[in-house]
Amino acid sequence: MSQLPAVLITGASTGIGAIYADRFARRGHDLVLVARDIARMEAVAGRLRQETGVTIDILQADLTQPADLAKVETRLRDDAHIGILVNNAGTAIGGTFVEQSTDDMSRLVALNTTALVRLASAIAPRLAKVGEGAIVNIGSVVGLAPEFGMSVYGATKAFVLFLSQGLDLELGPKGVYVQAVLPATTRTEIWEHVGADVNAMNNVMEVADLVDAALVGFDRREPVTIPPLHDAGQWDAFDAARKAMLGNLVNALPAERYRRLA
Ligand SMILES: NC(=O)c1ccc[n+]([C@@H]2O[C@H](COP(=O)([O-])OP(=O)(O)OC[C@H]3O[C@@H](n4cnc5c(N)ncnc54)[C@H](OP(=O)(O)O)[C@@H]3O)[C@@H](O)[C@H]2O)c1
């Protein structure tokens, strides 16, 4: 067993999660891989065990199913070796709001938000108690941009960003690092699930570049890491504009513009 904290990664069977598994294994961390496709996780784990010698457990779970989710929550609560959670599992659905089925939206929200917050909630008290550890939440730049036209997906990712920023404020002083990672278009299978051809898109980031950049942010203990945004000053200005409003958001009287003329 590695002396380093073990890392539980959701959505580790492919895409961004599988590369996180690769990178943390190469850093010497034991892993717990979570996803539905056990054969794919076995393939990732088999290769990494051989190449790195770390211990890798596999937990098969459909994180939209409460019983499966509870199994992962229990592991996060009880296994003191796990010190890092990578909340990566997520999906997207194609079409516009009126075309998408209510049930598909509900499953999307369950995976991208409910599962993510439940898993964070399962591990956070233990990490706060020992005063160390990390929670990495994979959001998306779509969560900043209703203009990109993925309203429900984007709303789940706005949730991920807000939650991460709130948890950073709450858990940071207790020694627990919380990072939101906001990828843009990255070459993974997620695009097949929305019925889009990623090879026909512009400005697609390779998944290894995305994860390696996110890990630079992780090592710097950045609260929000946006690998595709070249001008970090734009994020700083956006965040500063939001913070500048804070002192003005709570008032007893409605603003002048909402007062009716007698
Ligand atoms: N690729 C992009 O362009 C992009 C951009 C911004 C943000 N992101 C975010 O990055 C994260 C990873 O996405 P990706 O691009 O790597 O997608 P991906 O290649 O489709 O991988 C998604 C992972 O989540 C797992 N997963 C899906 N549904 C699940 C469920 N119900 N229960 C448990 N695991 C489930 C999948 O495994 P199984 O099928 O084996 O369950 C897979 O391992 C997501 O949160 C996504 O929103 C991606």
pLDDT tens track for 237-248: 999 999 999 999
pLDDT of residue 146 exceeding 90? yes
Atom of ligand 1 nearest to the CA of 13: 43
Percent of the chain whose predicted confidence (pLDDT) is above 70? 100
Q: In this model, does residue 176 exceed pLDDT 70?
A: yes
Q: Whose CA is nearest to atom 17 of ligand 1?
A: 190
Which residues are marked as active site? 153
For the Cβ of 170 lying below 6 angstroms from any atom of ligand 1, the answer is no
Supply the DSSP symbol for 186.
Answer: B
> 7-64: per-residue pLDDT in tens?
999 999 999 999 999 999 999 999 999 999 999 999 999 999 999 999 999 999 999 9
State whether the beta carbon of 113 lies less than 6 angstroms from ligand 1. Answer: no
CA dist., res. 228 & res. 182, Å (int)? 8
Q: What is the 3-state secondary structure (H, E, C) of 4-46?
A: CCEEEEECCCCHHHHHHHHHHHHCCCCEEEEECCHHHHHHHHH
Global pTM reads 0.98
For residue 68, give the H/E element and its range. Answer: helix 66-78
158 C-alpha to center of ligand 1: Å?
Answer: 17
Domain positions in the chain? 6-258
Phi-psi group of 237: left, alpha or beta (phi > 0 → left; psi -120 to 50 → alpha; rest → beta)? alpha
Give the residue from 138, 126, 105, 196 showing the smallest Cα distance to 12. Answer: 138
Contact between 51 and 27 (Cβ < 8 Å): no
Mean pLDDT value of segment 97-107: 98
Q: Whose CA is nearest to atom 1 of ligand 1?
A: 186
Q: 173 C-alpha to center of ligand 1: Å?
A: 30
Strands 177-181 and 224-225: parallel
Residue bearing the CA closest to ligand 1, atom 36? 11
**CATH architecture of residue range(s) 6-258:** 3-Layer(aba) Sandwich (3.40)
Region 108-131: what's the mean pLDDT?
98
pLDDT at 178 over 80: yes
Could you tell me which of 26, 79, 80, 17 has the C-alpha nearest to residue 49? 26
pLDDT at 227 over 80: yes
